[in-house]
Amino acid sequence: MAENGLTIALPKGRLLAEGLSLLAQAGYETGDVDDTSRKLLFHLSGDLRVLLAKPLDIPTYVAYGAADLGFAGKDVLMEQQEALYELLDLGIGACRLCVAGPERGPYNSRVATKYPNIATGYFREHGEQVEIIHLNGSVELAPLVGLAGRILDVVSTGQTLRENHLVVLAEVAQVTTRLIANVSSYRVKAEAVDRLMERLENVVEERTKGVKTL
Amino acid sequence: MLIEKPWGTHDFLPGEAAQKKQMEDTLLDVFARWGYQLVETPSFELDASIPEGPQRGERRFQFFDDRGRLLVLRPEWTFSIARLAATSLREKPLPLRLCYNGPVFNAEQGAGRDAVFHQVGVELLGSAAPEGDAEVLALASDALRAVHLETVRLVVGHTRFLDGLTADLEEPQAQALREALVRRDLVGYQAVAATLPASAADRNLLQRLPTLRGDATFLQQLQDSVQGRAARHALQELLEVATSAHAATQGFPFLFDLSLLRHPAYYTGLIFEGYVPGVAFPIVGGGRYDKLLDHYGRPAAATGFAIGVERLMDAGAVREAPAKPIYLWYGIGEEREAWRLAERLRQRGQRVVCGKEPPAAPECYTAVRRMAEMLQQERTQH
């Protein structure tokens, strides 16, 4: 972690644009940050440094202090279980963690997922013995080809599920993107963290108000 | 054959091990000057001797003795010191000032969580708040300064502040708030706080709790807005401790944080953690645990802290590299004389290695000297 200023880790891909627009609304110039080039480190105004990483890696960067702060999905935080501060619900990237499968059972005992820890915990809590199949993507394929009876995955619009003739069988958790902080940065850089958090909080509040009045 | 070592373990190589020992000695020396006596306990304890409760949540290394009794590798020092105080040291009058140095073991993997790590720390048994807390806080500051850590930020909180604010709530709700703070999940905390009944005393303070951090002036201003007596008393105690410890530590900066809660769950008063810029994990942590010794049958107010040795090393707390020896290179037939010369040099505190061959790695020595040269030097010095 840099001794001065703050380093924030943002997820590459789907959520980057929304994350950047939050930072822009909070008063940070995010002009040249994008994930289409090979550049992964950017210096913004106001002593803010942005690093771009895979969404699943964000908690790791923050837990080890390579970044002071990060934007991470609740799904990723539940899966990684790192010791870090979860400061603010940013209200973006809303989706649900669900168990899904073909509409009619019976299902075999295999469950395919990108989230082996969440799946293990969920089925243990529900007293069901399953075999967790860890996949890195295209999880919805698993029931179609007989790799697993069900899947545990994030569902946003449900479009992907419908296209693959799957339905939600149970909801595991509601997911949104969170502002997270390294435990040391949260203390050592308390003033800077509080300032950034306050700015983001105001933006998020404005946005929720906007949604409500629509 | 591929020879591996277990996950989460670390070898201290030549140089590193010397630096580690030097740092531990420096800390223990500070503790000794404050009247704390060094003790050692076995690396493992009977699992049954560790009290039931939420503090048992962590995963440990456990195994059985030959009679089938469950043993546990020391998960932290406080339990062992408490057992010691209540058994072997039962007749010794309180207060007891004890310090320790050695490895602790943790079976849970995660960022900054090794399987074996080292702690140097103190326990002050039989000294109540606020004097005991001020002593321990000042001692921690003194110790960190002795290893050249001037940039530590000490974060101080008080478990009874939250206990006071939540005293009138339903227990499940109060517990949900505490658990969210221990998990450092401020979003989850806010979600629970938002559901508090409007009638709850200090509801507003509870909802603002994660933002309640600042310096002593901030604490003073906060006092007026606290209604609950227990919470106000906790604030008062924090202020008193801060004032006396601050005087003793020549202005080591404290950051008060009323949302600070620490694992394990045995803390009952003032708690603190220390952080350094550039190190991702706390380097020191501790606090008051007035109920723990009840379990061991010798009730006593108690407080203490532990410093993470590896984290101090990460923070660059060690400055001096250990001295290298000189290499005494002797010829055929000079062996006996060389050993006698080396003996004389060692008695004067010099580090000496002797050999018949020229050294394979001369950079490992401060100098390479032939016998005649050394004898000559010795003669001119006397």
* Within a domain: B337: yes
d(CA A65, CA A74): 19
Confirm if B328 and B374 have CB atoms less than 8 A apart.
Answer: yes
Q: Is the sign of the CA dihedral B120, B124, B129, B133 positive or negative?
A: negative
d(CA B276, CA B148): 12
Q: How many residues does chain A have?
A: 214
Q: Name, in order, each residue with C-beta under 8 angstroms of B187's C-beta and a sequence gap of 6 or more.
A: A86, A87, A88, A89, A178
Cα angle: A141, vertex A147, A149; to 5 degrees: 85
How do residues A116-165 score in pLDDT, each as one tens digit?
A: 999 999 999 999 999 999 999 899 999 999 999 999 999 999 999 999 99
| B184 at A interface, C-beta within 8 A | yes
**Residues B223 and B342 grouped into a single domain:** no
**Residues B307 and B352 grouped into a single domain:** no
Q: How confident is the model at residue A180 (pLDDT cuts 50, 70, 90)?
A: very high
d(CA B193, CA B175): 12
**Residues B139 and B66 grouped into a single domain:** yes
Q: What is the pLDDT of residue B243?
A: 82
Query: Quick one: which H or E segment has residue B72?
Result: strand B70-73
Q: Are the beta carbons of B278 and A3 separated by less than 8 Å?
A: yes
Closest C-alpha among B269, B284, B153 to residue B214: B153
* Within a domain: B145: yes
**Residues B48 and B185 grouped into a single domain:** yes
Q: Are the beta carbons of B211 and A81 separated by less than 8 Å?
A: no
* Within a domain: B132: yes
Partner residue opposite B110 with nearest CB, options A83, A85, A185: A83
Q: Looking at the predicted structure, is the pLDDT value of residue A178 above 70?
A: yes
Q: What is the pLDDT of residue A193?
A: 94
Q: Are the beta carbons of B110 and A63 separated by less than 8 Å?
A: yes
Per-chain mean pLDDT for chain A = 91
| B278 at A interface, C-beta within 8 A | yes
Residues 171..200 of A with a Cβ closer than 8 Å to B: which? 178, 182-185, 187-190, 194
| B255 at A interface, C-beta within 8 A | yes
Q: Looking at the predicted structure, is the pLDDT value of residue A212 above 90?
A: no
**Residues B291 and B336 grouped into a single domain:** no
Q: Which of B274, B289, B314 is the last residue of a domain?
A: B314
Directed axis angle between helix B371-381 and helix B335-347, to 10°? 40
- How many angstroms separate the first and last alpha carbons of chain A? 41
Q: What is the pLDDT of residue B56?
A: 58
| A84 at B interface, C-beta within 8 A | yes
Per-chain mean pLDDT for chain B = 90
Q: Looking at the predicted structure, is the pLDDT value of residue A85 above 80?
A: yes
Q: Which of B256, B286, B314 is the last residue of a domain?
A: B314
Q: Which two three-digit tokens encode residue B334?
A: 């000079």
**Residues B357 and B251 grouped into a single domain:** no
Partner residue opposite A64 with nearest CB, options B187, B275, B280: B280
| A7 at B interface, C-beta within 8 A | no
Q: Which two three-digit tokens encode residue A171?
A: 């909801």
d(CA A31, CA A50): 12
Q: Are the beta carbons of A1 and B281 separated by less than 8 Å?
A: no
- pTM of the predicted protein model: 0.88
Q: Which of B255, B287, B314 is the last residue of a domain?
A: B314
**Residues B68 and B88 grouped into a single domain:** yes
The amino acid occupying position B77 is: W
Query: Quick one: which H or E segment has residue B181?
Result: helix B171-182
Q: Looking at the predicted structure, is the pLDDT value of residue A1 above 60?
A: no
CATH number of the domain residue B138 falls in: 3.30.930.10
**Is the peptide bond between A106 and the residue preceding it cis, with omega within 30 degrees of 0?**
yes
d(CA B257, CA B208): 12
**Residues B302 and B342 grouped into a single domain:** no
Partner residue opposite A187 with nearest CB, options B113, B153, B187: B153
d(CA B276, CA B284): 10
Q: Which two three-digit tokens encode residue A155?
A: 């569902």
Within 8 A of A185 by CB-CB distance, chain B residues are 280
Q: What is the pLDDT of residue A116?
A: 96
Q: What is the pLDDT of residue B58?
A: 65
Within 8 A of A70 by CB-CB distance, chain B residues are none
Q: Which of B156, B187, B260 to mutate to test the interface with A (most CBs of A within 10 A)?
A: B187
Q: How many residues does chain B have?
A: 382
Query: Quick one: which H or E segment has residue B354?
Result: strand B352-355
**Residues B293 and B375 grouped into a single domain:** no
Cα of A108 vs its chain's centroid, Å: 29
ipTM of the modeled complex: 0.86
Closest C-alpha among B112, B28, B110, B117 to residue B73: B117
* Within a domain: B319: no
* Within a domain: B102: yes
Q: Are the beta carbons of A187 and B277 separated by less than 8 Å?
A: no
Q: How many domains does chain B have?
A: 2
Within 8 A of A82 by CB-CB distance, chain B residues are 110-111
Q: Are the beta carbons of B111 and A82 separated by less than 8 Å?
A: yes
Partner residue opposite B280 with nearest CB, options A86, A184, A189: A184
Q: Which two three-digit tokens encode residue B68?
A: 């089938």
**Residues B147 and B80 grouped into a single domain:** yes
pLDDT (average), residues A82-109: 93
Please provide the DSSP assignment of chain A as one string. --SSSEEEEEE-STTHHHHHHHHHHTT---TT--SSSS--EEEETTTEEEEEE-GGGHHHHHHTTSSSEEEEEHHHHHHH--S-EEEEE---S-EEEEEEE-SS----SEEEES-HHHHHHHHHHTT---EEEE-SS-TTHHHHTTS-SEEEEEESSSHHHHHTT-EEEEEEEEE-EEEEE-HHHHHHTHHHHHHHHHHHHHHHHHHHHHHHH-
User: Which letter does DSSP use for residue B221 in this model?
Assistant: H
- How many angstroms separate the first and last alpha carbons of chain B? 56
Q: How many CB pairs under 8 A join A and B?
A: 70
Nearest-by-CA chain B residue for A63: B111
Residues of chain B with pLDDT under 70: 53-58, 249-252, 318-320
**Is the peptide bond between B51 and the residue preceding it cis, with omega within 30 degrees of 0?**
no
* Within a domain: B7: no
Within 8 A of A81 by CB-CB distance, chain B residues are 110
Q: Looking at the predicted structure, is the pLDDT value of residue A7 above 70?
A: yes
Partner residue opposite B184 with nearest CB, options A1, A86, A184: A86
Within 8 A of A83 by CB-CB distance, chain B residues are 110-113, 184
Range of B65's domain?
16-314
**Residues B347 and B273 grouped into a single domain:** no
User: Which letter does DSSP use for residue B352 in this model?
Assistant: E
* Within a domain: B370: yes
Q: Looking at the predicted structure, is the pLDDT value of residue A211 above 90?
A: no
**Residues B27 and B108 grouped into a single domain:** yes
| B111 at A interface, C-beta within 8 A | yes
Q: What percentage of chain A exceeds 70 in pLDDT?
A: 96
| B194 at A interface, C-beta within 8 A | no
C-alpha distance from B223 to closest chain A C-alpha (Å) = 22
* Within a domain: B321: no
How do residues B300-336 score in pLDDT, each as one tens digit?
A: 999 999 999 999 998 887 666 778 899 999 998 889 9
Q: What is the pLDDT of residue B197?
A: 82
Closest C-alpha among A49, A83, A89, A41 to residue A197: A89
Within 8 A of A1 by CB-CB distance, chain B residues are 277-278, 280
C-alpha distance from B241 to closest chain A C-alpha (Å) = 20
Q: Name, in order, each residue with C-beta under 8 angstroms of B326's C-beta and a sequence gap of 6 or more.
A: B345, B350, B351, B352, B353, B365, B366, B367, B368, B369
